[in-house]
Structure 1
Amino acid sequence: MEAGLHKAELTFDYPALAGWRWPAVEIVGQSPGPRLAVISGVHVNETSSIEAVIRLQRMIDPQKLKGRISIIPIVNLPAVPLRSQYVCPIDDKNINFSFPGRPDGSFSEALAYALLNDWAHDADCFADLHGGDLCEEVSHFMVVQRTGDDPFDQRNLAIAQCFDAAIIAAIDPSHMDQPARSVTGRAKRRQFAAFAEAGRIGLIEEPNVAYHLNGLLRLLHHFGMTDSAPAKTREARIITRYHWIPAPVDGFFRYHVEPGQKVAKGQLLATAENTYGEEIARVSAPEEGHILWRITHALSPRDSFIVGLGTKA
């Protein structure tokens, strides 16, 4: 490909993906270098991350770029008409937890497989941007998949540190034993990835857009693809356990914590009321840690996840 910005539509030759075409962009630099693959829109309401990917296309000068940036701005195309939260409406699966996928699987599984094995198989890094579906508020954090291979894990951690995160969740190697995030699918192949979270209730908000966009710009600089990058303002806290805290009852929940907040063991996270305004349950922190995200909608059914908590083992 000649240097410049090239627009195309991608297709993948798997039965479950027949008939679908993904708008994509290739930004090819004047000089050879690494390849960064970037996706957003695995969850279509996480618009701050999608906006960051759209802006990136306008910011990069191919004449000054070393290497190539490959972009798919909207991964979960079937979710767009309904603004589906979390899942792909074709198979009711969460693409985010379908990696590494299967070539003979359902739509979400086949797409996860195609992204890793066809589209980004030779990418030096795979960046997957998330955060802020219609009923959630998410702190500025990263997810890193630990493998037990220390040199690899340290390089992956350095990639995550390109983003100005408040928290880095370095999750346990046991996640590699089951379908999981793209960062886990890449780690199974010993390939590098960045997985960024930031956003709120489907809104495009500048602090969240800047978190994603500046993180990508630092990532390009980290790989030697550009000559400069925005400065960071903080060092992230690293946590090693990610708790998904469920609602203990069907209820109207009132939250007492905010994303990014440090909490003590036993601290009140939320109270649940019935429709008469009577308190029926309390949710407390099982350990000291930091709030990764919380649900914003007051009504939650029993066993649905309402708070993400990061702690140290």
Structure 2
Amino acid sequence: MPDSDAIHLNGLAIQPGERVLTRLVISKLPSGTVIDVPVHVLRAHEPGPTLLLMGGMHGDEVNGIETIRRMVRRELLQPTRGTVIAIPILNIYGFLNFSRDVPDGKDVNRSFPGFPRGSLAGRVAHRFMREIMPLIDYGIDFHTGGAARANFPQVRCQLGVDAETDALAAAFAAPFTLHAALRAGSLREAAQARGKRIIVYETGESLRLDEHGIEEAVAGTLRVLHHLGMGAEGPPPARPTIVCRRQTWLRARYAGLFRAHVENGQYLEKGQIYGSVADPYGEQAVRLESPVSGYVIGLNHMPVVNQGDALLHVAVPEVARTL
């Protein structure tokens, strides 16, 4: 087989039809223990696009890690054409330390495209850009809500800018599809600058498995593989995706103990009471009234809140909801 058909990764020439697990050495712990990132490469005999599936950009976001682990274990990722590159955990440091960031306190997803002699986060990003980014055409980056905030299953991407990105999000068909501008230093920004299309999938909260969101992620990934001509038809979505171009966070005006009166995914009417904040001594409580109508796509599960803390993430649908 000619070497021109091979994918070159981590010093390996991976031929069509091969399935390889390789490990990118990132650095060492102070103890001398090597930190490496396992990468699954699954290739079909027939040429086609290359799809990246990545979890654990933030080490405490376990839902994406479990999603990719589950698909690998169930042998759902062998493409009928093209290549799948699956990275269950990019930020091994954060995973080991139950942390969003790397030990220097920096966020890998604000450090792209990285620098070989920069911070630890920058070095992780640079290794990814050097080894993985040149190989891919499309990607799904799996994330989870942080700081005790749970996200309802949703895809985030820049809508209306690129037809292929829109089609990728529509194929995934998460319960919600949100317009999200690019953030400086993010993987999506670095990918777009190089002509790659990456969407972000969010579900659940950090350090907690969200079974509903994980199964939505598996089903959505299979639909994307089918859309790209890389696999059989995936399971149909339970309902059409709800597209939202505007979102807002409702924040605490008072400090105290927060109790939510709504659930994730629920529709919220303007003027509806969505929760309360009470002082811990039983002297007063304030009912919280929503200033907008929309769907609850993110919910704070931390009962102790300070002024300005995010309580509720509300997305406004493109088409007004009819009762």
* TM-score above 0.5, yes or no: yes
Mapped contact 1:129–1:195 kept (Cα < 8 A): yes
CA distance in 2 between counterparts of 1:132 and 1:299 reads 17
Letter of the 2:143 partner, please give it: H
Find 1:202's aligned residue among 207, 216, 227.
207
Q: Does 1:127 align with 2:136?
A: no
Quote the offset at 1:162 in angstroms. Answer: 2.3
Q: Which residue of 1 aligns with 2:65?
A: 50
Quote the offset at 1:268 in angstroms. Answer: 2.7
Q: Does 1:81 align with 2:96?
A: yes
CA distance in 2 between counterparts of 1:142 and 1:26 reads 24
Q: Which residue of 2 aligns with 1:242?
A: 247
Counterparts in 2 of 1:150-299, with a 5 A limit?
Answer: 152=162, 154-171=163-180, 175-176=181-182, 178-179=183-184, 181-200=186-205, 202-279=207-284, 281-299=286-304
Q: Which moved more, 1:246-255 or 1:29-38?
A: 246-255
Unaligned runs of 5+ in 2: 1-13, 28-33, 319-323
Q: Which residue of 2 aligns with 1:108?
A: 121
Q: Which residue of 2 aligns with 1:308?
A: 313
Find 2:106's aligned residue among 59, 68, 93.
93
String of CA shifts for 1:25-58, please: whole Å, max 9, x gaps.
1112222211011111123333332111012223
- For this pair of structures, how many residues does the alignment match? 298
CA 61–109 in structure 1, closer or farther in 2 if over 3 Å, else same: same
Letter of the 1:285 partner, please give it: S
SS at match of 1:234: coil
Q: Which residue of 2 aligns with 1:66?
A: 81
Mapped contact 1:132–1:202 kept (Cα < 8 A): no
CA 270–284 in structure 1, closer or farther in 2 if over 3 Å, else same: same
Q: Does 1:24 align with 2:47?
A: no
Letter of the 2:53 partner, please give it: V
CA distance in 2 between counterparts of 1:232 and 1:120 reads 30
Identical pairs, percent: 24
Mapped contact 1:142–1:165 kept (Cα < 8 A): yes
CA distance in 1 between counterparts of 2:118 and 2:284 reads 45
CA distance in 1 between counterparts of 2:125 and 2:66 reads 22
SS at match of 1:266: coil
Mapped contact 2:26–2:37 kept (Cα < 8 A): no
Mapped contact 1:120–1:126 kept (Cα < 8 A): no
String of CA shifts for 1:107-162, please: whole Å, max 9, x gaps.
3344345434541233111111122557232211110124x64xx1x321221122
Could you tell me the TM-score, scaled by structure 1's length? 0.83
SS at match of 2:157: strand
CA distance in 2 between counterparts of 1:256 and 1:180 reads 36
Q: Which protein shows a greater Rg?
A: 2
CA 184–281 in structure 1, closer or farther in 2 if over 3 Å, else same: farther
SS at match of 2:172: coil
Quote the offset at 1:196 in angstroms. Answer: 0.8
Q: Does 1:5 align with 2:19?
A: yes
Q: Which moved more, 1:68-77 or 1:45-54?
A: 45-54
Could you tell me the TM-score, scaled by structure 2's length? 0.81
Letter of the 1:233 partner, please give it: A
What RMSD over aligned residues (CA atoms) do the two structures have, in Å? 2.8
* Greater relative contact order (CA < 8 Å, ≥ 6 in sequence): 1
Unaligned runs of 5+ in 1: 14-18
